[in-house]
Chain A
Amino acid sequence: DAGVTQSPTHLIKTRGQQVTLRCSPKSGHDTVSWYQQALGQGPQFIFQYYEEEERQRGNFPDRFSGHQFPNYSSELNVNALLLGDSALYLCASSPYSGRKNIQYFGAGTRLSVL
C-alpha cells in the first residue's frame, strides 16, 4: 500500500518564476492538505482540498493556489516566487470519514528560490 507520494523531491527556481508541486494521496484517502515548512519551523497549513474544491485556507497569499483531480491527487501552484517561499512543502492526506481526520504526510518537496 503506497503512502503519500510527492514529486519532485527537490526543485530550484528563481525569483518571479512559477512552480507546480504534485501529490498523490494514500490509497483510500480523498482529502489532501498542503503545508509549508520553513527551515527550523513546524509546518504551516496552506489549504485543504476535498471533492475537488478548496475547503479551508491558511494565511497564505493568492499566489498560492491548488487543484484536486477526480482521482484525488492534487497540485500546489505558487506564482511570482519570492526568496521567502524557499521551504519544504508537505502534502498530507486523510480519509474524509476517518476518525478525527488523522493526516498522513509525504516526504515533501524541497523548493529553493534563488
Chain B
Amino acid sequence: GQQLNQSPQSMFIQEGEDVSMNCTSSSIFNTWLWYKQEPGEGPVLLIALYKAGELTSNGRLTAQFGITRKDSFLNISASIPSDVGIYFCADLSGTYKYIFGTGTRLKVLA
C-alpha cells in the first residue's frame, strides 16, 4: 500500500541529545500528523499540522509542515529514556483514512 517515506529508519542516541527525523511524500498533503507507538500499544498522537509552514510545539517536541507541502520534520530536544518508541508521520488522505509513514525507531541510551 501507499506509504510516506521516513528517515532515518532507526536511531540510537544518548540521553540528553536532540533528535531530528523527517517524512517526505511525492504528493502534496493537506495535513501532517506525528504519532508515537510504544511496544504493545497503539499509536498516540503527538502533533497535528494543518497548513504549509506551520511550526508547532508540544513540550520537548517540535514539528513543522514543509513549505512545499511534501515534507515535515519532527524534533525532540534533550531526549530521555521514555522517548523510546517508533515515530510515525501520517497524512489524512481525503476525509476517511490515514496514510502512514514507514516509521523511525528511536532508542535512547542512558
Q: Which residues of A contact B (CB under 8 A)?
A: 4, 33, 35, 40-45, 48, 55-56, 58-59, 90, 92, 100-108
With the chains together, A59 CA to B90 CA distance in Å?
18
**B96:A59 contact, CB within 8 angstroms:** no
Stretch at the interface among B13-21, B39-47, B69-77: B39-47
Chain A residues lying within 8 Å of B42, measured Cβ to Cβ, are 4, 90, 92, 105-108
With the chains together, A58 CA to B3 CA distance in Å?
13
With the chains together, A33 CA to B40 CA distance in Å?
19
Chain B interface residue bracket vs A: 20 to 34
**B97:A104 contact, CB within 8 angstroms:** no
Chain A residues lying within 8 Å of B35, measured Cβ to Cβ, are 105
Q: Does any Cβ of A come within 8 Å of B50's Cβ? A: yes
**B41:A56 contact, CB within 8 angstroms:** no
With the chains together, A101 CA to B35 CA distance in Å?
15
Q: Of A45, A59, A106, A108, which contacts B98 at CB under 8 A?
A: A45
Q: Of A55, A90, A102, A106, which contacts B45 at CB under 8 A?
A: A102
Q: Which residue of B lies closest to A43 (CB)?
A: B100
With the chains together, A50 CA to B1 CA distance in Å?
23
With the chains together, A41 CA to B3 CA distance in Å?
10
**A101:B95 contact, CB within 8 angstroms:** yes
Q: Does any Cβ of A come within 8 Å of B66's Cβ? A: no
Shortest CB-to-CB span from A74 to chain B, Å, is 14
**B97:A43 contact, CB within 8 angstroms:** no
Known contacts A42-B103, A48-B96, A58-B97; A100/B48 CB under 8 A: yes
Q: Does any Cβ of A come within 8 Å of B88's Cβ? A: yes
Q: Which residue of B lies closest to A91 (CB)?
A: B42
Within 8 A of A (CB), among B58-80: none
